[in-house]
Amino acid sequence: MSSTTNPVAKTRSKLLGPLMIDIPGQELTAEDRELLCHPLVGGFILFTRNYRDPDQLKKLCDEVLSLPRQRLLMAVDHEGGRVQRFRVGFSRIPAMRSFGHLHGEDPARALADARAQGETIGRELSAYGIDLCFAPVLDIDHGLSRIIGDRAFSDRGEVIVELARAFRAGLNAQGMAATGKHFPGHGAVTADSHLELPVDRRKEADIRATELAPFKTLIDDGIESLMMAHVRYTTVDTQPASLSKRWIGEILRDELGFRGAIFCDDLSMGGAAVVGDMEARARLALDAGCDMLPVCNDRDATIKLIDALARDLTPDRAASLRLKKLYGRHAGAQA
């Protein structure tokens, strides 16, 4: 691969690049180290395949954090229920919908439990230097999306707000930033964006009246980051929200006033593939205003993307500053 000889790859940058990449195994290979040290890479995401036991995970994370470069932002999808990458040796986190059900019976206990689970996630992950768990889910469960389903706190926006606030408070208490997802809302479509592009044909006014409320409230609260949805809302824009200047620049940044970091959803997902190859997806996402682009489960595409972007792209200073604010409390002086 050309990145092995690209002199840019040898340059240490104080900025965080826009790509978040993964590795295939439980230990770093020479190729893993080289890619993770490329200046266009600013983040590292972990999956179940990268985990054997706590000792192995600690060794892996320590090695990533000791690479001769600006500290990478480390993340894992660890929201509870179906989406928990590490299980053996970690507390089992219930699906967030369980707190929604409890809220109908005992709101105070539901809020206390949601906060406690946020604290547990924050405490356990931050012990390894992991900065983000990519939660909470702010989507409203309309009973249509199986990929969301019980990952959502509730089918009621006001309940989602209460529980998400409590969950975020738990994360923050352990020094971990929150990432609300999937803006502007993935719960009213049936298709799975991992496999194809879901299409939401509702009127823009209806979307605004329902889906945006939890995001707007958490934005006003100061939530640290958001992740975009690979969903096309036909009455708003022809592009998926994750690649849309209208959704990101005009609505999220200008109208809603969000000043935190914006993550695209994984560019390897089917919901992003409709716009072209990986380079086309990445350039659209960056042009739309995403700060960091996860590119997962496709090493060949990752290498080709880095080589393509290295010809004319450098890390953006403003985006890097937003991303660095997501470092956890164990990040140390480099944060």
Q: From the candidates 101, 106, 194, 277, which is the catalytic residue?
A: 194
184 with 240: CB under 8 angstroms?
no
| Sheet with 73-76, edge to edge strand ranges | 73-76, 41-46, 19-21, 293-295
In angstroms, the Cα distances linking 256 to 133, 188, 220 are 24, 21, 8
What would you measure as the largest C-alpha separation in the chain, in angstroms? 61
Q: How far apart are CA 335 and CA 329, in angstroms?
A: 9
187 with 142: CB under 8 angstroms?
yes
50 with 130: CB under 8 angstroms?
no
Q: Is 265 a catalytic residue?
A: yes
Those residues with Cβ within 8 angstroms of residue 1's Cβ, 6 or more apart along the chain or in another chain: 303, 307
Q: From the candidates 32, 265, 266, 291, which is the catalytic residue?
A: 265
Amino acid occupying residue 135 = A
Q: Is 300 a catalytic residue?
A: no
Q: Phi and psi dihedrals of 101, rounded to 5?
A: -65, -45
CA dihedral over 195, 240, 38, 306, signed as positive or negative:
positive
Q: How far apart are CA 191 and CA 220, in angstroms?
A: 30
Residues marked active site are found at 194, 265
